[in-house]
Structure 1
Amino acid sequence: MPTIIRSSMMPFSRVQFLASAALAAAVLGGSACTASAAPAAVAPPPVKAGFDYQIGGAYTPPSGVQVVSRDHGDAPAAGLYNICYVNAFQAQPGSEGEWGDLLLRDANGKVVVDEDWDEALLDVHTADKRTRVAAKVNAWIDDCAAKGYQAIEPDNYDSFTRSRGLLSDSDAQAYIRLLSAHAHAKGLAIAQKNTSELAGQRQANGLDFAIAEECGQQKNCDEFTPAFGDHVIVIEYTDSGLKTACSRWSSLSIVRRDLDVVPKGASGYVRKTC
C-alpha cells in the first residue's frame, strides 16, 4: 500500500459507547450534501501554518508550530490548533477482538488484513455495519471534542483499495459521511486523509481540509488543491519529497517527519520544514 502512517505501535484505548440512532438515521436518510454540511462554527486549520505530526507520541511542539496532529489518546497541545488522529477504517493490531463481526472477511471467512501494517480492515459494506462501526469511532470523536481538539484526522479512508474488491469507494464515502456529520455536530472540522481520487467529492462527504502524505514525493499535491485550495497539510518522509513539495506547493503547510513519527528525543526522530 502507499506509505500511510498510523500509530500502530500504540494501541488505542477504547471508549464503550452507544451511538445516537437518530443521528445515524438522519445521515443515512438525507442527502450527502445536506447531512454532512459543516456549520459556520467549524474552522479548518490555518493555511501555510507551521505543522507538526505527532501521532507516534506527543512532545513539546517546536518553535513556529501552529498546528499539531496527535493520537486521540493524547492531550492536545495548549494554545495551538489541534487535530485528533483516529484509525477509522482499520483495527489497531491487538484490538481485533473488540470489533466482533465488524471485521471484513473474505468468502472463506478469513479476516482481510492490510499486510503492510498488520491491521484488519473494518467492514463498512452495509448500512447496518457502517452505523455500528461509526458508533465506536464517533465515541473517540466525542473524546477528542471533550479534550479540546479542533479537528479530526480519520485514517485509512482508502482501505477499500486494499479490500480485495470487497469494499467500494461508495462504501467508504457513505461511512465517512457518518463521521463528518458527527464531527460537525461536535464543532470539529474533519480531514480527508490521502485518497486523492475522491477529493472532488469532498463537499458531498463533508470534508473540510486534506492531509496528504508524500504528495511531494509522488508529485501529485495538485490532485488535492482543486477541491481544497490551500487547506492541505503535506507530510513527507524523504528529503527529496520535502524539496519537491516546498518548491512546487509552497502555499501549503508542509513538514518532513521520520517514517515512524517518533517523539523528539527518540532514536530516528526527524523533523524538517521548507
Structure 2
Amino acid sequence: MRRIPTLAALLALLLTAACTSSSDDKRPTGPRWQPRPGTDWQWQLSGRLDPSVDVPVYDIDGFDHSAQTVADLHKDGRKVICYLSTGAWEEFRPDADEFPESLLGRGNGWKGERWLDIRRVDVLEPLMAERIDMCRDKGFDAVEPDNMDGYLNRTGFPLTAKDQLRYNRLIARLVHDRGMAVGLKNDLDQIPELVEDFDFAVNEQCAQYDECETLTPFIEADKAVFHVEYELPTSRFCPQSRRLGLSSLLKKYELGVWREAC
C-alpha cells in the first residue's frame, strides 16, 4: 500500500530541495571557460590591484580578492583566474591552522611556505575542496593551482611521479566538478599525461631554461599557455613565444602591476 507522507516528511522534502537549489545556484552556468592559444593576460599577485590593464584575462590571488572585485572585472569583460597554492602550505592563509603538522615538509624557497605531503589525499582533498569552493563562490572562471611539481623538489617526503599525477588529477577534478577551468602550473615532465585533464597551462621561465617546446601539446590541443619570464629581456623570448603560440609576459618576481607583453 502506498503511504501518505506526513506533514513532517513533506517539510523535510521541501527543506532538502531548497538546500539543493541553493548549492546548485553557486555553480557557474553553461560550459566552462576554455582559453585559446595567444590569449593576452595579466598576472598580479601583489600590491593594489590595477584593473585598467587592457587584456581579456586576469590571474589574481583567490584569498586576497572579494567577489565584488571579480564581479567588477567581469563587468569590464575580463575572465578571472583564482590563484591558489595547492601543493604548499602558507602560514599566512586564514586556513593555515587546519593543516596537520605531519603534512608539512621542507620550505619551498618562499618565506612562510612549506611543501605538502600530497600522498595524504584523505586529509588534503577536503581542505583543497574548501579553497576551490571559495573560488567558485566568489565567481572566478578558473583556478591556477600552484606548486604542482613537488615530486621534482626536495620536499621532505619521498614523492613519486605517480603521486604527483594522482594529486594533480584530483585537483583538476575538484575544479571541474565546480564548473571552472583549471590550469597546469609548470610540471613540464608530466604534460603528455595531464594535457587532457587541464584546460590551459601556466609556466614560469621556460625560455630561460630552454623548455618552451615542451608546452606544445597544450597549443596543439587548442589550449592557452600563459607564460612568464623574469630575467630575460623580451627580445630573447618573444620571437619564440609568437612562433609557438604562447601568451608571454615579462614580469618582476613580486608579480605586481608591471608587465611587458610580447
Counterparts of 1:47-196 in structure 2, within 5 Å, are: 47-57=37-47, 59-73=49-63, 74=65, 75-76=69-70, 77-78=73-74, 79-94=77-92, 97-104=97-104, 111-125=105-119, 129-162=120-153, 163-164=155-156, 166-196=158-188
Identity over the aligned pairs, expressed in percent? Answer: 25
The CA deviation at 1:165 is 5.5
Structure 2 CA distance for aligned equivalents of residues 153 and 116 of structure 1:
18
1:18 aligned residue = none
* SS of residue in 1 equivalent to 2:255: coil
- The corresponding residue for 2:33 is 43
Distance in structure 1 (CA, Å) of the matches to 2:151 and 2:195? 20
Cα-to-partner distance string for 1:81-123 (whole Å, 9 max, x where unaligned): 111000001011345543114524xxxxxx4222454421111
How big is the shift at 1:258?
1.1
- Alignment check: 8 A CA contact 1:50 1:64 kept: no
- For 1:113, the aligned partner's letter is G
1:233 is aligned with what amino acid?
F
User: Following the alignment from structure 2 to structure 1, what is the Cα–Cα distance between the partners of residues 109 and 246?
Assistant: 31
| 1:45 CA drift (Å) | 2.0
Gap regions ≥5 residues in structure 2: 1-29
Output the CA distance in 2 between the equivalents of 1:192 and 1:248: 21
Identify which of 198, 207, 217 aligns with 1:207. Answer: 198
Offset of residue 228 of structure 1: 4.2
Partner of 1:231: 224
Moved more, 253-262 or 61-70: 61-70
Opposite residue 192 of structure 1, the aligned amino acid is L
* CA offset digits 1:23-57 (Å, max 9, x no partner): xxxxxxxxxxxxxxxxx922322331221111224
Provide Cα deviations, 1:48-77, integer angstroms capped at 9, x if missing partner: 122111122452334431111001021322
- Relative to the length of structure 2, the TM-score reads 0.75
Letter in 2 for 1:114: N
- Contact between 2:92 and 2:112, CA under 8 Å: does it hold in 1? no
Structure 1 residue 203: deviation in Å? 4.1
Contact 2:37 2:219 in 1 (8 A): no
Q: How many residue pairs get matched? A: 218
Shifted more, 132-141 versus 219-228: the winner is 219-228
Letter in 2 for 1:100: P
Matching residue's letter, 1:170: K
Change (3 A) 1:114 1:239: closer
Q: Tell me, in whole angstroms, the C-alpha distance in 2 between the residues paired with 1:199 and 1:161.
A: 14
How far apart, in 2, do the equivalents of 1:59 and 1:115 lie? Answer: 25
Measured in 2, the distance between the counterparts of 1:63 and 1:123 equals 37
> TM-score scaled to structure 1, two decimals?
0.72
Quote the Cα distance in structure 1 between the aligned partners of 2:135 and 2:249: 23
Deviations 1:226-254 (A, max 9, x none): 244352111111342x3333111212211
Q: What is the distance in 1 between the residues matched to 2:91 and 2:62?
A: 16
Q: Give, in whole Å, the separation in 2 of the partners of 1:181 and 1:148.
A: 18
User: Does the CA-based 8 Å contact 1:124-1:172 persist in structure 2?
Assistant: yes
Matched with 2:22 is none
Name the Cα RMSD after superposition: 2.1
